[in-house]
Amino acid sequence: MQYRTLGRTGVQVSSLVLGAMNFGKIGRTTQDEATAIVDAALEAGINLIDTADMYGDGESEEMVGKAIAGRRDDIVLATKAGMPMGEERNHRGGSRRWLVTELDNSLRRLGVDHVDLYQLHRWDPATSDEETLSALTDLQRAGKIRYFGSSTFPAHRIVQAQWAARDHHLSRYVTEQPSYSILQRGIESHVLPVTEEYGLGVLVWSPLASGWLSGAIREGREIATNRSAFMPRRFDTSIPSNRARLDAVERLAEVADAAGLTMIQLALGFVTAHPAVTSAIIGPRTLDHLRSHLAAADTVLPSDVLDAIDAIVAPGVDLAPDEKHDTPPSLLDPSLRRR
């Protein structure tokens, strides 16, 4: 296992992070299975676990809490808040009212008195940076969180938040958690240069592109993954962007075969090779999934392999631009760009 410094915090974290989104009803993973995955991950050297309040409506946090009981101090524990938790309109977002309340809920579910990294799950355009950063700074001073970060923020919002922290003498986000894979490289052109400029740690999610790079999806095979079952449109190869992804996967498989690598090793080795990336978040549903990911823990791709990847998917290009998660709201809602 490789270890890197998380931004400028001085905290050493593994290059692979155990993501717990699939614990519980999302991935149909039981408590015994989740505990076995956590045990195996820690045994392999993973020391950072990432979850969120909305994963399974809190079920993931509860399962992580039970799995790490008795060994909390050996783990860098991260969770997130901000996505809707039910129908009540104020049970979401980045307001002080919600973050203070929901952190206590997360701590209760996790069975701990603090988390090491508390992340705002999405930028909240309805809440000022000062409001959110002030609440997070107070929670940090109260000892309930050690550091805080952002997740899937557009590049300009990362910059604005850094400026707001400076202008209002508040603590700042020290990490960003964006989506990044061989098939979705857009953050190379805007987010990653900003995180490097401000010294943020970067924990990338979906490095296997929702399973496209797992090795299970190939030309001529029926696409039957956990994700395709509840997001079929993202795997419909009659859609041009999905056809482009499948074509790229076939060419990438040739690169992996020639290099003696699995597709997972190629995919994880690619994202962890970028100098701005600290770690890649993996989200195994089973022990077998975890083992296939751990095989990439020490993968270092040579320059010729990285060049071959660049020739298939150009730097800074998203093959499925409609699936970007940091698109400004005004591009999604016409009412926000009309007078």
Beta bridge partners of 80: 119
Q: Fill in the amino acid letter for 231.
A: M
Q: Computed over its alpha carbons, how large is the radius of gyration of the chain?
A: 19
* 39 found inside a domain: yes
* 77 found inside a domain: yes
Q: How many domains does the chain have?
A: 1
Element containing residue 119 per DSSP (H, E): strand 115-120
Rounded to an integer, what distance in angstroms lies between the CA atom of residue 327 and that of residue 333? 11
Are 297 and 15 spatial neighbours (Cβ–Cβ below 8 Å)? yes
The catalytic site residues sit at 55
pLDDT value for 4: 97
Q: What is the CATH number of the domain that holds 39?
A: 3.20.20.100
The string of DSSP codes covering 222-276 is ----HHHHH-GGGG-TTSHHHHHHHHHHHHHHHHHHHHT--HHHHHHHHHHHSTT
* 139 found inside a domain: yes
* 320 found inside a domain: yes
Range(s) of the domain holding residue 155? 3-333
pLDDT, tens digit (0-9, with 9 covering 90-100), for 275-316: 999 999 999 999 999 999 999 999 999 999 999 999 999 999
* 339 found inside a domain: no
- pLDDT tens-digit profile, the chain (339 residues): 999 999 999 999 999 999 999 999 988 999 999 999 999 999 999 999 999 999 999 999 999 999 999 999 999 999 999 999 999 999 999 999 999 999 999 999 999 999 999 999 999 999 999 999 999 999 999 999 999 999 999 999 999 999 999 999 999 999 999 999 999 999 999 999 999 999 999 999 999 999 999 998 888 787 767 676 677 778 888 889 999 999 999 999 999 999 999 999 999 999 999 999 999 999 999 999 999 999 999 999 999 999 999 999 999 999 998 887 777 777 778 888 887
Nearest to 126 by CA among 169, 96, 166, 85: 96
* Residue recorded with tokens 């496209």: 212
Share of the chain above pLDDT 70, in %: 99
Beta bridge partners of 282: 18
pLDDT value for 243: 93
Which residues, at least 6 apart from 42, have a Cβ–Cβ distance to it below 8 Å?
Answer: 71, 74, 75
Strands 145-151 and 175-177 come out as parallel
* 248 found inside a domain: yes
φ/ψ region of 77 (left if φ > 0, alpha if ψ in -120 to 50, else beta) reads beta
Are 235 and 225 spatial neighbours (Cβ–Cβ below 8 Å)? yes
* 316 found inside a domain: yes
pLDDT, tens digit (0-9, with 9 covering 90-100), for 57-108: 999 999 999 999 999 999 999 999 999 999 999 999 999 999 999 999 999 9
pTM over 0.85: yes
* 187 found inside a domain: yes
Nearest to 75 by CA among 30, 104, 43, 121: 43
